Structure 1
Amino acid sequence: MSMDMTTVGDTGLLDTLQHEVAVFARRAEQTRLGGVGQVRNSMDRAAYLLLNRLDKEGPMGVKALAASMGIDSSTVTRQVAPLVDTGLVKRTSHPEDGRAVVLQLSPRGQTRLEEVRSSRRQLMAELTQDWAPEEREAFCTLLTRFNSALSARMSAHGVPGPEAQSPAESSTPS
């Protein structure tokens, strides 16, 4: 569906929006929005998203994890390897099929993830400290809506999401 953007809204506003999104992306990469204190910048984006997914959805196989994140199984395998090597994720046998491997967050991974979440939560609090609670909520709602629309558009065009980028493909962790 093609839209004449002038019918959607003011082109000046849309120009400002695209510019602010570009500035946000650049600043997010520059600062890595990694948090504050010693934990700052200590976990790359791919690791954070994978650990977060395993924490929220529980143990699962590589294919299920890849499907839930909308990325390729080979990408998950490549991204999980260092997490297993560092003890943040453990591989176990599937309870019903001993030949299948299940990935799960290790106790060390759970602790590390909570440290990073806490640091990032503190950064978000600092960045929005002078915002009213309803402004924070509105921003979160709109950013979630924007990300969902972008993800749906990318999926419709066969483009993998940002989680698909491996640490090697991304020169800077976030």
Structure 2
Amino acid sequence: MPTSQDMTTDLDPGLLDALQHQVAVFARRAEQTRLGGTGQLRNSMDRAAYLLLNRLDQEGPMGVKALAAGMGIDSSTVTRQVAPLVDTGLVKRTSHPEDGRAVVLQLSPRGQARLEEVRSSRRELMAQVTDGWSEQERESFCTLLTRFNSALSARQAGLPPAEPAAEAEPAAPED
């Protein structure tokens, strides 16, 4: 089995250095701005809250364990991150429809409205940041960023990176 050193011998070290540097710069800038959107909604929702609300919106009500597994984080982390969302009425706890003893988390109507406000603001930010890009450039960037995030997720889970599809469509946002 090739080692990570073997895998990088055939690759351009200068390009890999530039790539890791740009990823580090992106991470810093994304955290500084929190890619929170524009106008009054700028920086108005932290990353964890956005990702949790988005997951519940995309996949529907679910338990803490399922939410944690889908996001690749620990259940205790989800519990800690969900608590303020419940307290502020963005998420509600309900009984599982098939097992009344189990609790599921569900996006509340207030949470749905708030999420849509933030999404709209973030769409505007993405439009501004990529102003001057062609639609194809936006699609290519989204496809490559999705592939990059998927590879990082697979690595974190101890899985080999997936082979790229020939004509891959941009995937749903990774949490």
TM-score scaled by structure 2? 0.86
1:36 is aligned to 2:38? yes
- Tell me how far 1:6 sits from its aligned partner: 3.0
For residue 104 of structure 1, give the secondary structure of its aligned residue in structure 2: strand
User: What letter corresponds to residue 6 of structure 1 in structure 2?
Assistant: T
The 5-angstrom pairing of residues 10-89 of structure 1 reads 10-89=12-91
Which residue is equivalent to 2:165?
none
Q: Which residue of the partner structure matches residue 117 of structure 2?
A: 115
- Pairing 1:155–2:161 present: no
Per the alignment, residue 105 of structure 1 pairs with 107
Q: Give the C-alpha shift of residue 72 in structure 1.
A: 1.2
Quote the Cα distance in structure 2 between the aligned partners of 1:67 and 1:150: 16
Alpha-carbon distance in 1 for matches of 2:3, 2:134: 37
- Per-residue CA deviations over 1:122-166 (Å, capped at 9, x if unaligned) read 000000011011111100000011111111111118xxxx96xxx
CA distance in 2, matches of 1:67, 1:129: 36
Q: Secondary structure at the match of 1:156?
A: coil
**In 2: Cα distance, 1:139 partner to 1:14 partner:** 18
Deviations 1:48-80 (A, max 9, x none): 000000000000111111111111111111110
Structure 1 gap segments, 5+ residues each: 164-174
User: Residues 76-120 of structure 1, C-alpha deviation per residue, up to 9 Å, x if partnerless?
Assistant: 111100000000000011112111111100000000000000001
Equivalent residue letter for 2:72: G
Higher relative CO (CA 8 A, sep ≥ 6), structure 1 or 2?
1
Which residue matches 1:171?
A: none
Q: Tell me the percent identity.
A: 82
1:6 corresponds to which residue? 9
Instruction: Describe the SS at the equivalent of 2:157.
Output: helix
**Equivalent position amino acid for 1:118 in 2:** S
Partner of residue 141, structure 2: 139
**AA aligned opposite 1:145:** R
User: Aligned partners of 1:65 and 1:28: how far apart in 2?
Assistant: 24
Task: List alignment gaps of at least 5 residues for structure 2.
Answer: 160-173
Task: Please state whether the residue corresponding to 2:105 is helix, strand or coil.
Answer: strand
SS at match of 2:99: coil
Q: Partner amino acid for 1:26? A: R
Amino acid at match of 1:23: V
